[in-house]
Structure 1
Amino acid sequence: MSADPRALLRSMFDAAIAAAQPDRCIPPFLPAGPKGRLIVLGAGKASAAMARAVERHWSGPLEGLVVTRYGHAVPTERIEIVEAAHPVPDAAGLQAARRIRDFAAAAEPDDTVLCLISGGGSALLALPLDGISLDDKQAVNRALLASGAPISEMNCVRRHLSAVKGGRLAALAHPAKVVTLLISDVPGDNPVDIASGPTVGDPTTCANALAILRRYRIALPPAAEALLESGSGETVKPDDPRLAGNETHIVAAPQASLEAAAAVAREAGFAAHILGDALEGEARDVGAVLAAVARQVVQRGQPFTPPCVLLSGGETTVTLRGGGRGGRNVELLLSLGLHLRGFESVWALAGDTDGVDGLEEIAGALLTPDSLSRAWARGINPQAALDNNDGHGFFGALGDAIITGPTLTNVNDFRAILITLLYNPPPVEVAIS
């Protein structure tokens, strides 16, 4: 237990990312060779690396196209890689989605369509239904991202405005068999929420999407509102016969990455406890709750005895209040630090496993026992930074930002709270009568 806390936390984060690398998790799930062609289609931050893994481990002919985030492409020989914008779609994503749709529609009965889907695909696979423009789609995306809505609700809306999501891509490929390999970035690992489910049936409705938009007071462009009101944006349902016989496999998910990080902690001599792989809620509120748990561990030895590591995953949300530079992980971490108020024995790391927290190429940050005092010494007000959604500005000024570059995978948020103090229970007071 003499490990450097900074190095140990970073080692756990690196292990979580490594556990979800496509070269490790794709090969066991590759389908049998079809009578016809193998057509590879995909979308997401990890889709290019997934395509490369397929090429490396597939001996027969194949062809296809995947779309990934700018900066996340990798060299491939037979599968074309296109880059586009995330989290707000752009024209490159629109054009790629059109081509992916055409690939699916051209599949023949003896072909197998192998779909490689990961987080980020909702924005990257941007093909609105007829009557909705790219500008409309961008406006809705921006409003959803700023609303504080959880990812399941955001993706419900996205599915009902898309020509390829909500099972539509698989329906287009019918009667070819569709095999979908998923790297999950959503709490609960529900396939319909991963990149808004382009190949799986969707039980939600246009009415559900409208209710979500009204709940968050999001004004729709007229064409989009008319489409939802009329019900003409309805998605493909789970019992649709065009989906019969298809296969869907989750090849990497947050839980496996948390277990990999826990193994690193135990090897270093720390008990490791996974609090959950699907923690959701407002980032600053989740930070406050995790701080309360850490304080109870330090002060009471409950529910765990230190020294230990508390691990969690999931996807929090941020309701924008200020104009700072931030992301949900650094927002949570700053809130955690404010509620801990400099506990000497508590360190923490929060980061997005795709290497991008928010809109910047910054994965997350590290919180140390003296983060707040170092900030004050530099004239930085931590509470003001939180109020301004300026987590990246705060931790960047302290030199504690974590920059990984594109990790080529995405199993969502990773959080580790390291409690180094050996627990000394308070003396028991015995009443003398």
Structure 2
Amino acid sequence: MVADPKRFLSDLFYAAIESAQPEKCIPNFLPADPKGRLIVIGAGKASAAMARAVEDNWDGDLSGLVITRYGYNVPCQSIEIIEAAHPVPDQSGLNGAKRMLELVSDLSADDTVLCLISGGGSSLLPLPLDGLSLEDKQSINKELLRCGATISEMNCVRRHLSQIKGGRLAAACHPAKVINLLISDVPGDDPINIASGPTVADPTTCADALAIVERYKIKLPARALEILETGAGETPDAADPRLANVETHMIATPQIALEAAAALSEKQGVSTYILGDSIEGEASDVGVVMAGIAKQVAARGQPFKAPCLLLSGGETTVTIKGKGRGGRNVEFLLSLAVALDGQKGVYALAGDTDGVDGIEEIAGAYCDPTTLERAWGKEINPRLSLANNDGHGFFEAIGDSIITGPTLTNVNDFRAIFIDAV
């Protein structure tokens, strides 16, 4: 069975990441040779690795440009790779987005655009509408990240203030054929929410974006508010003829990653249950709920009998109130540990499959029945750490941070709770 819970959970995390590697996912979705040119574009934390996989499996000529996060570059021969900032956009991303629009501005109906999109693309394609500056985009992005909005709500606002998101990039490719290969990092795998949907039709409106701004009391620059109030930021919808020749394929998803981890767990003789691939909500609240389920399993054998493994994915949110170092996965895990209060036989790991939880190069962390005791031994108050949003500081101090380095993919959050029979 499981002799080393930390090793067991870590192996499952890496199995989930491995299942979503572009080199495995890309080959089955490459198009037939076009009559004209093949232009490769894309953005996201996995986009450079996706571009490399295209080159490795394509026999004909191609060219293109993709934008990825700093540190996620994978060298290519014919496709240019630009690195830019995430989660707060920078000038490199702005310049890259401008060049991408220029690259697809003179295509013909014989050409094919292969668009490689993964999580992180929203920040990596920061091309605001006229009258908005990069500084405005940075300010808006920070507000969105802090307010507690869901990823779909954040992306709705971003789309309606952008020259490139919400289908505008696909419209710029017209009349060429556009083939989207997407690695999903969002709950529900809706293409419009992956990198804010630059090459798919947008079902939302400026009024929807304005309602989100008002709901969360988000401070916008005057010009941004004017764009939403007047409808000047409306995006192409499904009826737009420029998007009629767009084809979309989901090549890797959170569910596929969870199934890969579940298969490895079952192979080791552990009964495994996937609770959901799109769990959302405040990270600390989700931690409390998951702790309650784990306690019920441990104490009463309901709804599952121990030993067993509970897997889940999705994207929680953190409403920042403290000044600590954290991310949604360590926020969840610290909340879980506090709620478990040293429960015997319960072990957990939570991490972001892109290797970055929050803004630090830390994927997530691990906890076990001794977590709180070890923290108190270092004079660290777990509840105060949670209140200060200091998950990274907490787990780093007790030696339980999970560091993967750049994973070159992104299928959202991974949460695994192992409940042993005691």
- Counterpart of 2:148 in structure 1 is 148
8 Å contact kept, 2:2–2:8:
no
Cα distance in 1 for residues equivalent to 2:3 and 2:310: 16
Cα distance in 2 for residues equivalent to 1:392 and 1:5: 21
Alignment of 1:29-428 (within 5 A): 29-421=29-421
Cα distance in 2 for residues equivalent to 1:82 and 1:129: 22
Q: Tell me how far 1:225 sits from its aligned partner.
A: 0.7
Q: Tell me how far 1:3 sits from its aligned partner.
A: 3.0
8 Å contact kept, 2:308–2:419:
yes
Deviations 1:261-306, CA, capped at 9 Å, x for gaps: 0011111111000000000000000000000110111111111111
8 Å contact kept, 1:67–1:82:
yes
Cα distance in 2 for residues equivalent to 1:379 and 1:219: 39
* SS of residue matched to 1:389: coil
Give the TM-score normalised by structure 2: 0.99
Deviations 1:33-84, CA, capped at 9 Å, x for gaps: 1011100000000000000000000000000000000000011111000000
Q: Tell me how far 1:7 sits from its aligned partner.
A: 0.6
Write the letter of the residue equivalent to 1:90.
D
Matched, 1:19 2:3: no
* SS of residue matched to 1:102: helix
Taking only the aligned residue pairs, the percentage that are identical comes to: 67
* SS of residue matched to 2:258: helix
8 Å contact kept, 2:89–2:138:
yes
Q: Tell me how far 1:107 sits from its aligned partner.
A: 1.7
Q: Tell me how far 1:344 sits from its aligned partner.
A: 1.4
Cα distance in 1 for residues equivalent to 2:313 and 2:71: 25
Cα distance in 2 for residues equivalent to 1:145 and 1:201: 24
Write the letter of the residue equivalent to 2:150.
P
8 Å contact kept, 1:104–1:170:
no
Bigger-Rg structure (1/2): 1
- Counterpart of 1:428 in structure 2 is none
* SS of residue matched to 2:348: strand
Q: Quote the RMSD (CA, aligned, Å).
A: 0.6
Q: Tell me how far 1:368 sits from its aligned partner.
A: 1.1
Q: Tell me how far 1:219 sits from its aligned partner.
A: 1.4
Q: Tell me how far 1:181 sits from its aligned partner.
A: 0.3
Deviations 1:299-358, CA, capped at 9 Å, x for gaps: 111111110000000000000010000000000000000000011100000000000000
* SS of residue matched to 1:35: coil
Cα distance in 1 for residues equivalent to 2:104 and 2:203: 22
Q: Tell me how far 1:177 sits from its aligned partner.
A: 0.3
* SS of residue matched to 1:105: coil
Cα distance in 1 for residues equivalent to 2:37 and 2:307: 55
Write the letter of the residue equivalent to 1:288.
V
Cα distance in 1 for residues equivalent to 2:368 and 2:60: 51
8 Å contact kept, 1:324–1:389:
yes
Cα distance in 1 for residues equivalent to 2:37 and 2:245: 17
Cα distance in 2 for residues equivalent to 1:130 and 1:77: 34
Give runs of ≥4 in structure 1 deviating > 2 Å.
Answer: none
Cα distance in 1 for residues equivalent to 2:66 and 2:106: 16
Deviations 1:157-182, CA, capped at 9 Å, x for gaps: 00000001000000001000000000
* SS of residue matched to 1:196: coil
Q: Tell me how far 1:106 sits from its aligned partner.
A: 2.1
Write the letter of the residue equivalent to 1:16.
A
Cα distance in 2 for residues equivalent to 1:403 and 1:195: 24
* SS of residue matched to 1:195: coil
Q: Tell me how far 1:105 sits from its aligned partner.
A: 1.3
Q: Tell me how far 1:109 sits from its aligned partner.
A: 1.6
Cα distance in 1 for residues equivalent to 2:346 and 2:101: 50
* SS of residue matched to 1:318: coil
Write the letter of the residue equivalent to 1:53.
A
- Counterpart of 1:431 in structure 2 is none
Cα distance in 1 for residues equivalent to 2:420 and 2:301: 12
Cα distance in 2 for residues equivalent to 1:361 and 1:353: 12
Q: Tell me how far 1:125 sits from its aligned partner.
A: 0.7
Give the TM-score normalised by structure 1: 0.97
Number of matched pairs: 422
Q: Tell me how far 1:2 sits from its aligned partner.
A: 3.7
* SS of residue matched to 1:414: strand
